[in-house]
Structure 1
């Protein structure tokens, strides 16, 4: 069992912030879905999300009993399991919305690519920790890019462009903190921009369409541009104080697709308005600040890298999802952390917070 001295070292600000986000999430999911389900299952999504939130709280408490450094010892095994999961999706995965990303286990649909993000953070943190002080040339970076590149390509194959981009955000955030030279980082970014025209030819037709309608949604207003148009209408119509809970017309009348998952922030903008949206964004910024603080106060390099990877993942999710719903980012299907409905995403995010709490709790040498 945890000692009282360890428990006193918990980051209670992060705990309170995540708790508030989950409570708000349950309210918004309930508002987005209650009119679209039979009366006897009106709050099925809320109940399911709430149950898994409670299960994850238990998982986090169990995790806190183990030193986070034990994750480094299991990194190679976890990496192997990650590859097996992603390969399994190719052969036994379930298809939906034009992509094969889910594995059905009884009544539960799991998305391995969600879990792969956290596993990749753990495995990459272990690898970079062992290479501390050795990132001086591009030759030193090749094994790292290959290490991330294999799961990256497997996720792209599903296809899941959004999660693939999250891998890149995690990678660059972690190698920056690991000590990569700035000039090398700039060369990599420049090369990436130069290869964008080639990358375009590897995208699926629907992915190309999403990028096209990002520039001008009216190119396909009833197809690929429909999500963006309806989302912008929803957010704009909320104005300063919003239309009130359960009163958003775009969401309640089914004009806004995926309103309880990828476009939950549009529901927030419509029903809670600019004020409500800013307050929720403030909660996210507090959480990201705590993540940065935890990375800076970790007792070892492995802990710093773990916290950096998790914070990079959450920050990228927030930036892309909010930007997507506001029409300033392409639609990529990246959920809003702790807010969008989804068992796999919720579990990944909550376990990630459990790791952050574990790192912060053990930031100093404590006598037992």
Structure 2
């Protein structure tokens, strides 16, 4: 009979499988610990390299812990593996780190077959014993989330070689918790759960120009959050002001920072006001909207103007001295709603305020 110890190289070559041991690619023999595989899927590892209790072994896309004493022979190391059954997320230096663990409500001792129960309202977690994790979890009241439930650490134990065992008491959820991804206190320390979008970082206006902004709020999964209202403020109202509708008015040359807040999200827009406004003759006006309106129907129109200068809206007949076949129902400095009241073509005209510069569209 061929002996394993004296022919380990042969067995490794014939039956060894690729694994990752503490982050390093290795080859070892992996076999089932029992004939009938159960939920815990425990295995046996036989290697020619040193292994220790608590080491992490990755095998076939699963993560295992060496959870027994290591049987060291002449040429081999043999131990039992237990599959990690949970991932605990912790924030380290503003980055989310994932840690495989053994999370149990009824746990089996590593060095014996003695079972002990974890009381209701508590969670027992076994981490690999590393210097980094000692600093993270061997701190009372450190919080973690498991099965969508927050816990705070109330005790820890190092009596099981290679493991840090902690006990967590059920804790209250706080608004900074990301329960979906199970990251405690994710939205604290300046990390907002929501972000302001649909605005540019910078905008340029000429003195007298008006810019209407329409921000949106997204969560970190890029879902739009319905926000009933936004708050706006300017850090330099001598240069630019902003009203409750998000309309920014250029007052004088310089720079102003507009702050936008909504649903706990904060965004900023830097507005620069030109020292020398563009000549009015060089401004471009473009009207957008349908060129047809049915009788008694209404249509909305918007305008884009160089430097976002404000406009006024009027309707006129296409014929000199004629009567316009419609009315302006409502208007802002950049949009309007027109209604047809009679048949026949008419013109919708956008004129830059306090100038004769205008653009028109024929409505049929």
TM-score normalised to structure 2 length: 0.19
Query: Per chain length, whose mean CA-contact separation is higher, i.e. which structure has more relative contact order (CA < 8 Å, sep 6+)?
Result: 1
Please state which structure has a larger fraction of its residues in strand. 2
TM-score normalised to structure 1 length: 0.19
Please state which structure has a larger fraction of its residues in helix. 1
